[in-house]
Amino acid sequence: MDYLQILKTLVAMDTSVPPGNNYKEALDYLEPIFKGCGFQTQQIEIPTDQAEGRAERVNLICRRTNPGRPRLIFYAHIDVVPAQGWPAFKPYVEDGKLFGRGAADMKGAIPALLIALEKGRNLPFNYDVSVMITTDEEYSQGSQLRYLSQFLEQLKGAYFFNLDSNFGYVSIANLGTLQMDILVKGHSVHSGLSHLGENAVEKAVLLVEALLKLKTRVTERKSRIQTHPETGLDQMTARLNINMIQGGLKVNIVPDQCSVSIDRRLIPEENLAEARQEILDTLAGAPGVRWEIIREFTIPTLPPCKDPITDKLAGVLKEITGESGKFGEMGSGDLANIVVNEWGGHEFGMGVIRSESNIHGNNEFVYLKDIENLAEIIYRFLTT
């Protein structure tokens, strides 16, 4: 199997979300490769009302049944974040790395899985294996995952191997998420008559100042769960970031509105409702500011996965690379909450992301050696 050509082909397909184009093209390319590995396949068209109004969403389900064995479902997503300012969709190899948008997050893990499945095509697996290739993970995909559940049975007690993870350790925990878009209100007038108006941008500064004071307190909160040393952190750490501010129409108009978008990440020990109230109290404490919440997105916190299967995977990793360990990741996603809280399953992961891979940034890359090692890890995990 020419995994490098597979990865180059996938990276060259612009599956950025938004808007979410070329999903079917990517899955049409992958489907016959999974069939060649001995899997039955089915493309699932997601109804628009199950994709938060987004059209032309399609996912791929692959299965190699093994009745009586534990249920194992590999998870991957084909979408990537947008890119600009570099040739993100013209993949190239240099110094043992492949560069391109999605190389590490997370298209590089898909050929690793394919190598393992092809190598084990004529061998018995330890599990009843399925693969789900999804879309819109970089946006929100909870409703799509719920729709897919009918094609993935049996789910209760199933193990979900999340390939959207870091390499070098087993991921056993993720951060919870609370995102808010806050609309700050003002009154628009000519800039020369600003005393008659109310400047929403300037009022937003007062909110930002209050949020930054809260950020100082939030980032002092540490989890009992360790993170991998590559993160530069000893433990999972709470986060509060102000990532977008938008306001104003023209330089000589006092703006009547300004939006502020915040991204709060919660360690497993934190409570989503308490974190939300803390933010609301902070916003309410900004003097003379009129505001409202216009969008919220949440992912609850979860305890770490402590199933013995994570010890097995860590042991295989040790055999292949000499590295090992089970750590929490400083990222979030819809999958774990749905798997654990709604489906009654177990979620853990390993992929090809490294801290230096610069995912979501310019010149994202994946180490080719990590793809090859992950392939061998998955193969041994399935067959030994």
Concatenated DSSP letters for 23-73? Answer: HHHHHHHHHHHHHHTT-EEEEEEEPGGGTTT--SEEEEEEEE--TTSPEEE
CATH number of 176-299: 3.30.70.360
> Count H helices, E strands: the chain?
9, 17
Say whether 4 sits in a helix, a strand or coil.
helix
What pLDDT is recorded for position 230?
86
3-state SS record for 158-220: CEEEECCCECCCEEEECCEEEEEEEEEECECCEHHHHHHCECHHHHHHHHHHHHHHHHHHHCC
Tokens of 48: 């628009």
C-beta contacts of 198-205 below 8 A and 24+ residues apart: 198/254, 198/256, 199/254, 199/255, 200/247, 200/255, 200/256, 200/257, 200/258, 201/247, 201/248, 201/255, 201/258, 203/258, 203/288, 203/289, 203/290, 204/245, 204/247, 204/258, 204/260, 204/289
Distance, CA of 124 to CA of 347 (rounded, Å) = 23
Say whether 288 sits in a helix, a strand or coil.
coil
What pLDDT is recorded for position 159?
98
CA quadruple 41, 46, 52, 57: dihedral sign = positive
Contact 97, 368 (CB under 8 A): yes
Tell which CATH architecture fits domain 3-174+302-383.
3-Layer(aba) Sandwich (3.40)
Among residues 210, 209, 185, the alpha carbon closest in space to that of 199 is found at 185
- Decide the pairing of beta strands 128-134 and 71-77: parallel
- Secondary-structure breakdown of the chain: helix, strand, coil percentages, each rounded to the nearest 5: 35, 30, 35
Please give the radius of gyration of the chain, using alpha carbons only, rounded to the nearest integer.
23
Say whether 382 sits in a helix, a strand or coil.
helix
* Residue in this structure with the two tokens 């056993």, named with its chain if needed: 172
Distance, CA of 283 to CA of 298 (rounded, Å) = 18
Say whether 291 sits in a helix, a strand or coil.
strand
Residue-wise pLDDT for 153-177, tens only, equals 899 999 999 999 999 999 999 999 9
Residue-wise pLDDT for 27-75, tens only, equals 999 999 999 999 999 999 999 999 989 999 999 999 999 999 999 999 9
- Distance of alpha carbon 341 from the chain centroid: 18
Distance, CA of 141 to CA of 290 (rounded, Å) = 32
Global pTM exceeds 0.85: yes
Q: Residue 291: CB partners within 8 Å, gap ≥ 6?
A: 182, 183, 184, 185, 207, 283
What pLDDT is recorded for position 153?
87
Residue positions counted in the chain: 384
Q: Which residues of the chain have a pLDDT value below 70?
A: none
Domain locations in the chain as residue ranges: 3-174+302-383, 176-299
Residue-wise pLDDT for 180-215, tens only, equals 999 999 999 999 999 999 999 999 999 999 999 999
- HSE-up of residue 382 (Cα within 13 Å, Cβ side): 29
